Amino acid sequence: MTHWLRSKLGLGKSRQKYEIWEEIKALREEQIELRKEQTKIWEEIRALREGQIRLEKRVGSLESAMISGFGELSKFAGLTFEEFVRKFLTASLRRLGEIPEEAELSRSLVNGEEINLFLEEPLIVGEAAGYAESANEILKLLRKAEVVKVKYSREPRKILVALTARMEAAKEMRKMAEERGIELIIGKIVD
């Protein structure tokens, strides 16, 4: 409607102001609804994050129980713990799509350093220990990872699997593993 027509019909500035205020009111209501929806979305994200943390803890616990149980069974199957861990991790990493189907963790010698769990692509360095009395297993893994890093000019994924660990050693190992980006799996913790 043109200005001329409004003035002829008696629709002046007060009518225009009223229409503007009505539009502002409608926008406010829409904004309030959007805020409510956004709050719901953030609550759902928070719940998902909490669920993910719980799931990761359960998976870690299950992984430890499996390592412990299968570690004991491997004795009867004629496998060493190291061989068992290589097969177990290879299968797990394949299933998760983290390594190609044809890839397999192996024992390797890199610049004179024996590595229990090794894969060149993607680059993985790991150790399998039957018993960890101290955090020395972490230090040993870090030394081997450094040798591999120098040879391949890239940072390897680091994994340490211990069948059994003393409680104090396990605490120290978890702290060091978190600080240094090491995936740590402990089967059983003893006093």
Encode the chain (191 residues) as per-residue pLDDT tens digits: 555 545 555 555 677 777 888 888 888 999 999 899 999 999 998 888 888 877 776 666 666 656 666 656 555 555 677 888 888 889 888 888 899 999 999 999 999 999 999 999 999 999 998 888 888 999 999 999 999 999 999 999 999 998 888 999 999 999 999 999 999 988 888 88
Question: Which pLDDT score is estimated for 95?
Answer: 85
Please tell me whether residues 159 and 81 are part of one structural domain: yes
Q: What is the CATH number of the domain that holds 156?
A: 3.40.1350.10
The parent domain of residue 29 ranges over 3-45
The distance between the two most distant Cα atoms of the chain, rounded to a whole number of Å, is 101
Query: So what's the pLDDT on residue 17?
Result: 78
The pairing of strands 157-166 and 182-190 is parallel
Q: Are residues 32 and 78 in the same domain?
A: no
Does residue 52 lie in a domain region?
no
Q: Does 62 share its domain with 27? A: no
CA distance 183 to 67: 14
Q: How far is the C-alpha of 150 from the C-alpha of 137, rounded, in Å? A: 20
My answer on whether 110 and 35 are in the same domain is no
**160 occurs within a structural domain:** yes
d(CA 188, CA 162): 8
Write down how long the chain is: 191
Are 28 and 65 contained in the same domain? no
